[in-house]
Amino acid sequence: MPVAYLGLGSNLGNRKANLDQAVELLKAHPGIQISKVSSYYETEPVGYTDQPDFLNAAVEIETELSPRELLNTVLDIENKMGRKRTIRWGPRVIDIDILLYGTGQIEEEGLQIPHPRMMERRFVIEPLSEIAPELKLPDGRTALEAAKLLRNEDRDS
């Protein structure tokens, strides 16, 4: 069964409860088996910075769903949890991004895999490197190598 990786984030309301609920809703889906969940990481907002800090996590799943079905499932969960799409990069109860789906590369309307901004986002790579340190990322580095690089960049900036 294909293995996929998801990035989760929340910066509105009870952020831990939101991440917990998103994990439970993923778990409850008959086409998804969760194999790993990272710790929850407190992170400063990146991009649009005038918003509360996030809690971020990464999840490894095995899934019978196609990438498009997986996208529709995570969008359903976001909607069920009350996600409102007001400001594009603004605060959100829950955000679930598909980071990787096996070694697949997909460029379709509304669906890009690997996630186009994952490599530059420490809030994605740190939790991912915790649950899958040896996972090969799109640039050929392992998740652990990519995390170290981003840590060093942050330290030197």
Q: Give catalytic residues, as residue numbers.
A: 83, 92, 95, 97
- Cβ atoms of residues 138 and 113 within 8 Å: no
Contact range with ligand GSY by CB under 6 A, out of 42-50, 57-65, 130-138, 140-148? 42-50
CB of 88 to ligand GSY, least distance (A): 8
Alpha carbon distance 30, 27 (integer Å):
8
Sequence-separated (6 or more) residues with CB below 8 Å from residue 137: 100, 114, 118, 119, 125, 143, 146
CB of 64 to ligand GSY, least distance (A): 25
Q: Does 87 bind ligand GSY (CB under 6 A)?
A: no
Contact range with ligand GSY by CB under 6 A, out of 18-26, 38-46, 72-80, 131-139? 38-46
Q: Which of 97, 131, 137, 143 binds ligand GSY (CB under 6 A)?
A: 97
- Cβ atoms of residues 59 and 74 within 8 Å: no
Q: Which of 78, 95, 126, 130 binds ligand GSY (CB under 6 A)?
A: 95
What are the C-alpha distances in Å from 52 to residues 41, 68, 78? 14, 31, 19
Alpha carbon distance 58, 5 (integer Å):
7
Q: Which residues pair with 7 in a beta bridge?
A: 58, 97
Q: Does 45 bind ligand GSY (CB under 6 A)?
A: yes
Q: Does 149 bind ligand GSY (CB under 6 A)?
A: no
Interface residues with ligand GSY (CB under 6 A) are: 9, 43-47, 54, 56, 89, 95, 97, 123
